Amino acid sequence: MDRMLLLGNKAGNIRLFDIKEKKTIQEVASDPAFPRVVSLACNQSGSVFVCSSNSKLRVPSGGNIDPLPRSGRLDLWDMKTMKLETHLPIGDQDTAINCTVFNHNGHLLLTGGADGKIRLFDVTKCECIADWEAHEGEVYSVQFSSDENSCYSMGNDGKFIEWSMNITGRKVEELNIHPGATGPFELPAYGGYKQVQTPKGKLFAFDSEGQYVLTCQQNGGLIYKMEGKQLSRSLSLGGHKAPVVCVDWASAIDCRTCLTGSMDGKVRASTLLRQ
């Protein structure tokens, strides 16, 4: 399944794309009431994937668009048939889910919500087995640690926090992170105006051994080294002319490749050779 790519858009379309053949294999639509696909995550076996979708943006009486819809849904799909299997229960308010990630075997799903909560789902039972208040405001990005004994989150309050997975909801450490790592991201425009983007992607990514973490900064990525419960700046990755809003980290035997995506739609791959 490494050759397959899942894509989602604000019109509610989910597309399965064959990278090698460079063609769409199948395209399906989410619930019309929640047409904005926000997050897609596949389990390691490639048998199922989860889709978080939100309602349309609302326009208040003042005319300003509210960029963060409150309601959403979380669906489990069959990867092979591209058919909806079931809905995962978010809660009474059906809050918008901003980010999703599976653990190594696909049995557990971690999510971050617009209500500031992290939720842990048992995918085999299709139920939420734990949830806790994680941030003041939106939870923008969540990730498991390499050993899955803990998880990490970034939120609207500018905090980067490690949480215990053995005692869910227990804060292990609040890590020092540079200002702007969690957004909002601003790009100067003509006439003194600014383009402002709230986080919509992966704000941090660990290397395969969990020793380094890649984060977003103004014109590139910033890599920290994990030293115990502290972060120390290790390397800056430049090359962008706009704020980096999404990162990822792929590992190979002899090299490491970091991906950084910016507000101007450009993606940069940086290969770090082992020493």
Tens of pLDDT, residue by residue over 117-144, are: 999 999 999 999 999 999 999 999 999 9
Shared domain for 201 and 169, answered yes or no, is: no
Shared domain for 102 and 226, answered yes or no, is: no
For residues 157 and 160, what is the distance between their CA atoms, to the nearest angstrom?
A: 9
Shared domain for 232 and 108, answered yes or no, is: no
Shared domain for 243 and 203, answered yes or no, is: yes
Shared domain for 167 and 234, answered yes or no, is: no
Which tens digit of pLDDT belongs to each residue from 223-263?
999 987 789 999 999 889 999 999 999 866 556 789 999 99
- Residues 102-132: b if buried by 16+ CB within 10 A, e if exposed: bbeebebbbbbbbbbbbbbbebeeeebeebe
- DSSP assignment of 86-125: EEEP--TT-BPEEEEEE-TTSSEEEEEETTSEEEEEETTT
Shared domain for 198 and 259, answered yes or no, is: yes
Q: Which residue among 120, 148, 175 closes a domain?
A: 175
Tokens of 91: 């809660």
For residues 269 and 248, what is the distance between their CA atoms, to the nearest angstrom?
A: 10
Contact present, 217 and 181 (Cβ < 8 Å) = yes
The range of the structural domain enclosing residue 205 comes to 180-275
Shared domain for 75 and 156, answered yes or no, is: yes
Pick the closest to residue 213 from 134, 125, 154, 172 (CA basis).
Answer: 154
CA atoms within 13 A on the CB side of 73: 16
Pick the closest to residue 182 from 207, 161, 212 (CA basis).
Answer: 161
Shared domain for 171 and 220, answered yes or no, is: no
Shared domain for 197 and 96, answered yes or no, is: no
For residues 6 and 28, what is the distance between their CA atoms, to the nearest angstrom?
A: 11
Q: Which residue among 106, 141, 175 closes a domain?
A: 175
What lies within 8 Å, CB to CB, of 61 at 6+ separation is: none
**CATH code of the domain containing 126:** 2.130.10.10
Q: Which residue among 175, 191, 210 closes a domain?
A: 175
Shared domain for 62 and 84, answered yes or no, is: yes
Shared domain for 23 and 154, answered yes or no, is: yes
In the chain, the number of structural domains is: 2
- pLDDT in 10s for each residue of the chain, 275 residues: 567 888 898 888 999 998 888 899 899 988 888 889 999 999 887 789 999 998 865 545 454 444 544 689 999 999 889 999 999 999 767 789 999 999 999 999 999 999 999 999 999 999 999 999 999 999 999 999 989 999 999 999 999 999 999 999 999 999 999 999 999 999 887 777 888 888 989 999 999 888 999 999 988 999 999 987 789 999 999 889 999 999 999 866 556 789 999 998 899 999 886 54
For residues 49 and 6, what is the distance between their CA atoms, to the nearest angstrom?
A: 9
For residues 231 and 215, what is the distance between their CA atoms, to the nearest angstrom?
A: 12
Shared domain for 127 and 227, answered yes or no, is: no
What lies within 8 Å, CB to CB, of 55 at 6+ separation is: 33, 34, 35, 36, 69, 70, 71, 72, 96
